[in-house]
Structure 1
Amino acid sequence: MGHIDHFSAGWVTPVLSFVMACVGFALGLCCTVRALEAEGASKRNWLTLASFAIGSGIWTMHLVALMGFGVRGTSIRYDVPMTVLSLVMAIAAVGAGVFTAGYGRSRIRAVAFGGLGTGLGVAAMHYTGMAALNLHGEIGYDPSLVIASVVIAVVAATAALALTLVVRGGVLAAVAALVMGLAVSGMHYTAMYAVTIDLTPSTARLAGATATEFLFPLAVLLGSFLFLTSAYVALSPTGKRAESSFADELLREVELSTA
């Protein structure tokens, strides 16, 4: 059994990964608020940008956290196509959830189904990313922790969609981003603690790229995208219907369903 170190680079990777998750969600929150104020192509474009922001933020969090993952007795390489596929899955899953919530007629059902689909997609993204790891041994999982990580992903995604459509004001938005950053980080490390490694000592060369060759440049690229997009959103004009409240509509639906 290989000794696993989740923090081989110290506290830099968990802190930085948490920051990236918060930035991605905060940006997605801003984009979705703009989408709710818009119509037609503008609404679609804001929702698309929200999908990319949240999806790439979550995936960058996963990527940065993986830089601190090490196994004593073996080096680690990353399958590039499989890792990129996990990024596509993250953006697609979040996009499905955001568009479901943004266009759904029943807001409660939209958030519930959108959160379920997004959470399952984020979990699939994580485990696809883990399948991209090449090392001298076999990766196994503790089933109970895997289930726990999926549940956390679904709950976090549902809460994220609800907060994205309900939260108003800069302070509440910041708090929402911090909470979701903690939730996504909790999902990631729960899933990582589910990992077991059965080592097969070997001197054979592993296929794939090292973290320095691939993960670090990609994380920098996505991080730059998030910060540049944040600047664009901050400088773009707000819509005219800022006072339209999803929260009011949600309360009406709850009252009707309990009447």
Structure 2
Amino acid sequence: MHGTVDGFSYGLVTPLVAYLMACLGGALGLRCTTRALLVTQSWRPGWLALGAAAIGSGIWTMHFIAMMGFSVAGAPIHYDKPMTYASLGVAITMVGVGIFIVGYRGATGTALFTGGTITGLGIASMHYLGMAGMRFNGRFEYNTLTVALSVAIAMAAATAALWAAGQVRGFLWSVGASLVMGLAVTGMHYTGMAALSVHLHTAGAPTQGDSPAGLLAPMLIGPLAFLCLAGVVVMFDPLMVMGRPDRAPERTGRGAPARPAHPVHTVQRPPQRPRRKVAAHESRTPQNR
């Protein structure tokens, strides 16, 4: 028996809030990735890891805020917590792999394509693993072509975002890139939901249960707190906000810019007294006079 699906139980509230969370996670992650390209090798892993966690948490939070508006008539939904949190781990890990590739190889050519592909697959894996963690009296079925389209959107969005992070063009550029990334990630989510159809089991009468908001709200506290903490880090690092190096970066490795560990100090020589021109008659020796 086909189930009646409602993806907008709260109207436009959940899509808009989900979009804002995707933008927030994307903005923080892009700023951290940009900052990683401006520091020395010793600091780079920390900034890249923070960027991966920010993007992964933002995407995961976006997904489950959007799922607060998802319901199936006559079939209360529950969530398997281990699988739900596993989807968060998959998102952070795969996004991290893509970001580290771009952070060390540069946002061009093969490295950009590889990093964007892995990051996009991480976004899609998080989505469908999170959907697999839903429990109700029925099963999901997906349209293969629509699923493939959603994965392609995720890969294109991730590649564009990593390319933007490598440009290092300042705060407004990153804001625009994060808005585009949020739109693409949210579009990927609802494209994947459009591929979904629900089949309910005929055995058992419809039952009542907790609302999706009541089930998901406690799970979102941790990732939301982390995003707020990452936002504080951004606020207290003006260089990361503006995306401008305090000195010209040097080329190290294979195309990745990095700043020198210490500023180069030049030795100031004391000023020399100008030489006085000696007249021809003064240069004569007493013997020549």
After TM superposition, is the score higher than 0.5? Answer: yes
Aligned equivalents of 2:67, 2:186: Cα separation in 1: 12
Shift of 1:194: 0.5
| TM-aligned CA deviation for residue 204 of structure 1 | 8.6
**Structure 1 residue 172, shift from structure 2 partner:** 1.4
Q: Give the Cα separation in 2 of the matches to 1:72 and 1:106.
A: 46
Rounded Cα–Cα distance in structure 1 between residues aligned with 2:19 and 2:45 = 28
Matched, 1:232 2:238: no
Answer whether contact 1:37 1:241 (CA < 8 A) is retained.
no
Distance in 2, Cα, partners of 1:134 & 1:158: 33
Cα separation, partners in 2 of 1:32 and 1:121, compared to 1, 3 Å = same
Indicate the residue corresponding to 2:181 in structure 1: 180
**Distance between the aligned counterparts of 1:160 and 1:63, measured in 2?**
22
- The 3 A distance-change label for structure 1 pair 67 and 34 is same
Compute the displacement of 1:233 (Å): 1.9
Aligned-partner SS, 2:3? coil
Query: Residue 254 of structure 1 corresponds to which residue in structure 2?
Result: none
Alignment of 1:1-259 (within 5 A): 1-104=2-105, 107-201=108-202, 202-203=204-205, 211-236=212-237, 238=239, 240=245, 243-244=248-249
| Structure-2 separation of matches of 1:129 and 1:203 | 26
- Residues 63-110 of structure 1: CA deviation (Å, up to 9, x unaligned): 111111111121100010000000000001110000000011683111
1:166 deviates by 1.2
Root-mean-square deviation over aligned CA pairs: 2.4
1:243–1:58: structure 2 CA closer, same or farther, 3 Å change rule?
farther
Q: Is the 8 A contact 1:21 1:181 kept in 2?
A: yes
Q: What SS does the aligned partner of 2:27 have? A: helix
SS of 2:10 mapped into structure 1: coil
User: Which TM-score applies when normalising by structure 2?
Assistant: 0.79
Q: Secondary structure at the match of 1:238?
A: helix
The percentage of aligned residue pairs carrying the same residue is 44
Partner of 2:272: none
- What is the distance in 2 between the residues matched to 1:110 and 1:172? 22
Deviations 1:97-124 (A, max 9, x none): 0000001168311110001111112111
Whichever of the two has the greater Rg, that structure is 2
How many residues in Structure 1 have an aligned counterpart in Structure 2?
A: 247
**Displacement of 1:171 after TM fit?**
1.5
Q: Separation in 2 of the partners of 1:106 and 1:158?
A: 9
SS at match of 1:196: strand
Q: Give how far 1:144 is off.
A: 1.1
Q: Which amino acid in the other structure matches residue 131 of structure 2?
A: M
How far apart in 1 are the matches of 2:113 and 2:134? 33
Structure 2: 5+ residue stretches without partners:
257-289
